[in-house]
Amino acid sequence: MKIYVIIIFILLNLLSWSTFGVDKRKALKNQWRTSEKTLLTLSFFGPFGALLGMKTFHHKTKKIKFKILIPLFLFLQIVLYLLFFYPF
């Protein structure tokens, strides 16, 4: 059961990271973009990937919404995983 949670965790973070990269590429080419709502939703489920995507691709780094919510999502996910893997 726990291995499935880890696999899903990795896949969601890879999806989040790659979506930030694709959106940055589209921004540079003035193409249709991924909505901020979609990016934030992916960030909620894959905050490690989102934070890494922000740093790697220098994308959405000036948006206050992203600067506040992604670290918050990351903190919440760390707490949830600690509770899941190390219950009291």
Separation of alpha carbons 16 and 6, rounded Å: 15
Residue range 55-75: mean pLDDT, rounded: 96
Number of domains in the chain: 1
Please compute the mean of the pLDDT values over residues 60-80 and round it to a whole number.
Answer: 96
Range(s) of the domain holding residue 58: 2-85
Confidence band, pLDDT 50/70/90 cuts, at residue 2 = confident
Please write down the HEC assignment for all residues of 55-78.
Answer: HHHCCCCCCHHHHHHHHHHHHHHH
Q: What are phi and psi of 31, to 5 degrees?
A: -105, 175
Specify the DSSP class assigned to residue 37.
H
Task: Calculate the average pLDDT of the chain.
Answer: 95
DSSP state string for 2-33: HHHHHHHHHHHHHHHHHHHHHHHHHHHTT---
